[in-house]
């Protein structure tokens, strides 16, 4: 997976289409990402001995194919290409502008 925690992404499909957020967690085995404040759902929590029942909002993972990285130069969605730098290390590069991603 080419996405990493802390990347700024745009949602390109689904009910949250067009919204921008940052990646909080990457679930590589499931090919999903958790975004900050995106894809919130309400769940009912049952009452326990010391606590009343309540409705809580939780963040649900979204499929990685439904998000695209934001190009740091143009602020538009872009694909990612992996290239090698002069030392032989892997570097992520935005396809749209050719700018290196940190």
**Residue 102 has what pLDDT?**
77
Q: What angle do CA 78, 4, 66 make, to 5 degrees?
A: 50
Q: Among 87, 88, 35, which Cα is nearest to 58's?
A: 35
CATH number listed for the domain at residues 1-70: 2.30.30.30
**Contact, 39 vs 33, CB < 8 A?**
no
H/E stretch holding 40 reads strand 40-45
Q: What is the pLDDT along the chain (102 residues), one digit of tens a residue?
A: 789 999 999 999 999 999 999 999 999 999 999 999 999 999 999 999 999 999 999 999 999 999 999 998 888 999 999 999 889 899 999 998 888 887
The residue ranges of every structural domain in the chain are: 1-70, 71-102
**Contact, 77 vs 95, CB < 8 A?**
no
Q: How many CA atoms lie within 13 A of 86 on its CB side?
A: 0
Beta-sheet pairing, 80-84 with 62-63: unpaired
**Contact, 23 vs 37, CB < 8 A?**
no
How much is the pTM? 0.80
């Amino acid at each position: 997976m080419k996405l990493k925690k802390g990347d700024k992404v745009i949602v390109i499909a689904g009910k949250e289409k067009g919204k921008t957020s940052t990646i909080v967690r990457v679930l590589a085995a499931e090919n999903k990402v958790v975004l900050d404040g995106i894809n919130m759902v309400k769940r009912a929590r049952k009452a326990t001995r010391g606590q009343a029942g309540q409705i809580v909002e939780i963040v649900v993972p979204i499929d990685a194919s439904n998000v695209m990285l934001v190009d740091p130069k143009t602020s538009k969605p872009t694909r990612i290409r992996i290239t090698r730098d002069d030392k032989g290390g892997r570097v992520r590069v935005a396809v749209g502008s050719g700018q290196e991603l940190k």
